[in-house]
Amino acid sequence: MTDATAKPPVWSALWGATHPGPTLVVTVLALALGGAAGVEPARLALLVVAVFAGQVSVGLSNDAIDGARDATVGRTDKPIAAGTITPERALAVAVAAVVLALALSVPLGPGLLAAHAIALASAWAYNAGLKSTPLSIAPFLLSFGLFPSFATLSLTPPAPAAPWASLAGAALGAAVHLTNVVRDLDDDRRTGVRGLPHRLGARASVVLAAVGIIAGALAVLFGTDATLPGTLFFGAVVVVAAVAVVITVVRAPGRAVFQLTMLAALLLAAQLVVT
């Protein structure tokens, strides 16, 4: 076997199956929100590692469950579909990761443990079958809606996040789902996946995601004291989301629209952190 055809190390293939980009983004967001909320360093470190382990479990379980479907549509960029690792191994590591995530959540208190457990159960439910139903958006609304509370529930004393923060988190989750799936609509249809974005269509999904992002940005703006950084991020969210809507209305959604909507979602996350 030559170097060109040699399989990558198992650890590398496993990491590639965790959806590294989203895993790191969510982990960094947990760090940023925890730091902004004033979580003490030791507890913040524990929270960040717990969130990272949870996201690893979500990504691996997604690819393990979808392995055969991804292979059918030629997704050789995915390690399981490419045969680099087996679904069984990925699922075993995913289970170990979710157990670790919950174990690390225990010292942070029952509130954080409950919120993290609900969010992870929601994400696993999506992977296990909800993604193919009209309720496919529900796990994103629930998990991301809970996410801002991860930081505040890690405080001493713990408390849930403000309603405006939860609303912004839910809007962010909805945008991630509606926009991310748009890229794979055709492949998903071929393998029988018909979630909410598939039923709405690409154009309606992008418009709904952008409108949701703006609604989330408005919730943050009116839920907090107006600060210059927060106001600037709000303006940036509205401009980028509006441009995505205009482009979507005048022509079929393409990669640029996807990138713009994701940028608006990231700006909303930044607005949430700085406020």
Q: What is the domain-level CATH number for residue 191? A: 1.20.120
Residues 211 and 240: their CA atoms lie apart, in Å, by 11
Model's pTM, two decimal places?
A: 0.92
189 and 154 in a common domain: no
171 and 148 in a common domain: no
Residues 58 and 95: their CA atoms lie apart, in Å, by 9
| 223 pLDDT more than 90 | yes
The pLDDT tens digits of the residues spanning 56-105 come to 999 999 999 988 887 887 778 889 988 899 999 999 999 999 999 999 99
Under the banding of pLDDT at 50, 70 and 90, the label for residue 192 is confident
Residues 30 and 39: their CA atoms lie apart, in Å, by 11
Position 86 scores a pLDDT of: 94
115 and 171 in a common domain: no
143 and 246 in a common domain: no
Q: What is the domain-level CATH number for residue 123? A: 1.10.357.140
172 and 156 in a common domain: no
- How would you write 248-270 as a 3-class SS string? HHHCCCCHHHHHHHHHHHHHHHH
117 and 12 in a common domain: yes
Q: Are 73 and 67 in contact (CB under 8 A)?
A: no
| 263 pLDDT more than 70 | yes
Q: How far apart are the first and last CA of the chain?
A: 55
Sorted by sequence, the CB contacts under 8 Å of residue 5 that are 6+ apart come out as none
Largest CA distance in the chain: 63
Query: What's the whole-number average pLDDT of the chain?
Result: 91
Dig out the tokens for 26 from the structure.
């969510």
179 and 120 in a common domain: no
270 and 257 in a common domain: yes
Residues 151 and 241: their CA atoms lie apart, in Å, by 27
140 and 26 in a common domain: yes
Residues 26 and 17: their CA atoms lie apart, in Å, by 16
Nearest to 257 by CA among 273, 240, 233, 274: 240
Dig out the tokens for 88 from the structure.
């069984």
Under the banding of pLDDT at 50, 70 and 90, the label for residue 186 is low
| 24 pLDDT more than 80 | yes
140 and 257 in a common domain: no
Nearest to 178 by CA among 261, 63, 268, 269: 261
Residue 67 Cα to chain centre, angstroms: 20
229 and 274 in a common domain: yes
What residue numbers bound the domain in which 19 lies? 1-160
149 and 20 in a common domain: yes
Last residue within a domain, chosen from 142, 160, 178:
160
Report percent pLDDT > 90 for the chain. Answer: 72
Domain count along the chain: 2
Position 249 scores a pLDDT of: 87
